[in-house]
Structure 1
Amino acid sequence: MNNMILNTDSYKTSHYLQYPQGAEYVSSYIESRGGDYAETLVFGLQAFIKEYLTRPISRADIDEAEAVLTAHGVPFNRAGWEYIVEQYDGFLPVEIQAVEEGTVLPVGNVMVQVQNTDPACAWLTSYLETALLRAIWYPTTVATVSKACKNIIADYLDKSADNRDGLAFKLHDFGARGASSEQSAALGGAAHLINFMGTDTVSALMAARRYYAAQMPAFSIPAAEHSTITSWGKDGETDAYANMLRQFGGDGQVVAVVSDSYDLWNAIDNLWGKTLKQQVETMGGTLVIRPDSGDPVAVVCEALQRLMRAFGYRTNSKGFRVLPDCVRLIQGDGISAATIDAILAALTALNISAENISFGMGGELLQKVNRDTQKFAMKASAICINGQWRDVYKDPLTDPGKRSKRGRLALIKDVAGYQTIRLEQLAGQQNLLQPVFRNGRLLRQQTFDQVRACAAGQSDIPVSDSAA
């Protein structure tokens, strides 16, 4: 699956025969044309470049691709690929420009621009669309959803808590098992970690380490699942809970226990709230109770009110109720940006602070997104024929929303914010599209800390201008 020649759509293989005579260069761009969110958090290009574009195409790749594609019934540009091997040692003669990863970019703006660097390979720019667009839209969309959730939680903390302490751990990634592939879990999980520091997706840790030089980008805690609780039997539920405290409790320790295997209300009112109450209060750490069924809004509201009756509460400076530090709640079932907002709105109406709860998000984070969530597209916008640049664009009468941009592009930021302009209009302004890849070389490398800093609106961490 690592043959870049085959990392494309079938119809792309015939396009080298379709460009006008004399075509020398094609310039294409990637943008989010709109979608569910007004801004996107750009992420994922560096991972794709490191994994795929810093590896050369080989003659064995060409042989394999020719055998597969000719049997598949489509043309194969063997001469073009052999030229790349002969002239560039198999590295693709293209330049990719992009904004810094971590940029929060309003929709409708160019975030990536691609152009071939050799006039003999004008066909190559658009050939890369399938792989390159997929490498951008998915992690960027996950990062965008995660960022939106962070903004919602931060707003409710501002309303109902004394501070935003703990915000980085308020949304935990539960999505690994629901992702379509291990690679999706890795890239989407890493995208989530731009905004938060809690995950159970181990593959995300590895993606952040491998592609962005992260040391340890996120953390987790010991936690029970239904099998470990129900293996004690219904009559042994109290013993199962006590074992969790005994194994993982202690000063400064946090342990999560799913508590709805049988009767959540009995577990809160009687098992945690009476039988094990002293152990919870004196263990020195924090018990995080996890419901895992029922209507999320109703269950969370009821569970927190019952916990406050069992363990008491204090009132913070804003007049909202807060559980004692020894007990908290995490809701990991049915969580989306919409249900997070609905739960926190309901808690606010009950005078319960958002600091009492954290969330786990699975399929809604890593899987229930697609290219149309943010209407991503890669389109050709300019072509050079016999030394003359021409605009390339589409303007379908039946869907004005699919109108594409024209010309070679630049991205600027001024008092009006980000703007996409034509390259010839730059006139000395800083172009935020900077070369990141050219002819097999990674030209600019960001660490995970730099991506996070960019997403947070900080610019005090310099970006390396060459691959480490």
Structure 2
Amino acid sequence: MQCLRNLLLNTDSYKASHWLQYPPGTDATFFYVESRGGLYDRTLFYGLQAILKEYLARPISHADVDEARDFFAAHGEPFNEAGWRYIVDRHDGLVPIRIRAVPEGTVVPTHQALVTIESTDPDAYWVPSYLETMLLRLWYPVTVATISWHAKQTIRQFLERTSDDPAGQLPFKLHDFGARGVSSAESAALGGSAHLVNFMGTDTVSGVLAARAYYHEPMAGFSIPAAEHSTITSWGRENEVEAYRNMLRRFAKPGSVVAVVSDSYDIYHAISEHWGRTLREEVIRSGATLVVRPDSGDPVDVVHKCLVLLDEAFGHAVNGKGYKVLNHVRLIQGDGINPNSIRAILERATSAGYSIDNLAFGMGGGLLQQLNRDTQKFALKCSAARIDGRWIDVYKDPITDKGKQSKRGRMTLLRHREFGTFQTVPVPPEAESLADVVRPQGYDDAMVTVWENGRLVHDWTFAEVRKRADGNRL
């Protein structure tokens, strides 16, 4: 939205007054981002580059300062007009900050620093705080990527147990159905691309476009022709089989895949009679793979029963691991899908002797919308300030909630080169740079400078992000 393009207005109201609230003599501040715990014990880091390119790459202009000045005057907040005009004149409108972060695609345990933000101009020490609101929205793509990554680990475990080709099957086992269920187009773009770090199946177009725009990926995800209820029910119940036949004639070609939602009236009748009898030979002759989609009922029970009915109609082969692989047909479950239901469905299906080759999942709201900042307890906090030339620790330690205790001092993240363990370590108050950090034996820097004074220092490709993420397994 054009009215939200002004970086100076991409903040919380009270931020406009904070430049007046720091102690006299302050000329530098240091902030960090972490997941303080949450549903998962580790997070997949993704999305910072997209946020930086979208919001910080555009220089601030005097017109932006004018707009913000007038807004906050009417809004009831003081505004640092002189400070922002200084940034426009002295820094060509590019905010003087340095951002260090773990490389995108890295999986990091909770309670470790993922990002640090520090001021680089003594006359603009207050800028990192002003940007907190915008930068902390990083929680969203990180949390989506984390949910998707953990689902991938679950599916991978069952594939490795039951499939002859787990690596080839895995990228298309969880399909993003979430675009219509999110709160904004930006959420669909950031969340949709976060899912694509782990999988390659999606119907969220904006997620694919975000991977292209921010991470240089020409085509990050793929889809197939698929029916929705309206394209089936518009034929009328008495012509349901003709609606299915139309899907075959339009899209079922040798080697192709076509998905058809089949629960508009009676999913079990549709499989046993329409697909399993009336259209069975057409399905086989087409040379395509038919993917039947149930979309209602208890997912665990429905998937199991549908597998059995498809097996009765089309038969199966037994793979090298002793599990049944259906002939000509597959099943995708997109209703009621979340990490817990995925595991329950996989356990039921494999217990019945079916390979996970037979199944795929579609995940909508559970992937892109049923989450919030507290899912992984994300926080962006000030941990150090330089006052009268001396660095001091800045922290909070509320007696009413020790879970909100914040880290102290300047810091960086290290990783053990052999074991892959992480450790957030302090930067000594007297240190001028990170070169002065004492690194325990075997540890290397886990963070790199990604942004400095308006310049993107590291420009990750989507392929690099995916490779890092896939190299981390439970």
> Normalising to structure 1: TM-score of the pair?
0.96
Which residue pairs with 1:464 in the alignment?
none
Matched residues in 1 for 2:274 and 2:420: separation? Answer: 58
C-alpha deviation, 1:402, in angstroms:
1.0
**Where in structure 2 are the equivalents of 1:213-224 lying within 5 Å?**
213-224=216-227
Divergent runs of 4+, >6 A = none
SS of residue paired to 1:81: helix
Which residue pairs with 1:427 in the alignment?
438
What's the CA shift string for 1:125-183, capped at 9, x where partnerless? 1111100001x100000000000110111111122222303110000000000011011
Matched residues in 2 for 1:318 and 1:434: separation? Answer: 44
**Where in structure 2 are the equivalents of 1:25-174 lying within 5 Å?**
25-134=28-137, 136-164=138-166, 165-174=168-177
C-alpha deviation, 1:71, in angstroms:
1.0
Which residue pairs with 1:456 in the alignment?
470
1:103 and 1:319, CA in 2 relative to 1: closer, same or farther beyond 3 A? Answer: same
What's the CA shift string for 1:387-442, capped at 9, x where partnerless? 11111111111111111111111111114701110124732553222111111111
Pick aligned residue for 2:456 from 417, 438, 442: 442
Structure 2 residue 204 is matched with structure 1 residue 204: no
Whichever residue aligns with residue 211 of structure 1, its letter is Y
Structure 2 residue 314 is matched with structure 1 residue 311: yes
**Where in structure 2 are the equivalents of 1:13-412 lying within 5 Å?**
13-134=16-137, 136-164=138-166, 165-324=168-327, 326-412=328-414
Matched residues in 1 for 2:238 and 2:57: separation? Answer: 58
Number of residue pairs matched by the alignment: 456
Which residue pairs with 2:431 in the alignment?
none
Whichever residue aligns with residue 455 of structure 1, its letter is A
What's the CA shift string for 1:336-390, capped at 9, x where partnerless? 0011011111112212221111000000100011000000000111101121111
Matched residues in 2 for 1:456 and 1:290: separation? Answer: 28
SS of residue paired to 2:373: coil
Whichever residue aligns with residue 445 of structure 2, its letter is N
C-alpha deviation, 1:74, in angstroms:
1.1
C-alpha deviation, 1:69, in angstroms:
1.3
What's the CA shift string for 1:54-86, capped at 9, x where partnerless? 101111111111111111111111111111111
Gaps of 5+ in 2: 429-435
Matched residues in 2 for 1:373 and 1:225: separation? Answer: 32
SS of residue paired to 1:345: helix
Pick aligned residue for 1:11 from 14, 30, 41: 14
Matched residues in 1 for 2:322 and 2:255: separation? Answer: 27
SS of residue paired to 1:430: strand
Matched residues in 2 for 1:25 and 1:347: separation? Answer: 58
SS of residue paired to 1:19: coil
Matched residues in 1 for 2:165 and 2:259: separation? Answer: 23
Which residue pairs with 1:465 in the alignment?
none
Matched residues in 2 for 1:302 and 1:433: separation? Answer: 49
Matched residues in 2 for 1:31 and 1:360: separation? Answer: 30
Matched residues in 1 for 2:469 and 2:263: separation? Answer: 37
Matched residues in 2 for 1:259 and 1:151: separation? Answer: 29
Matched residues in 1 for 2:453 and 2:319: separation? Answer: 58
Whichever residue aligns with residue 374 of structure 1, its letter is Q
Gaps of 5+ in 1: 459-468
Identify the range of structure 1 (193-202 vs 428-437) with the bigger mean alpha-carbon deviation. Answer: 428-437
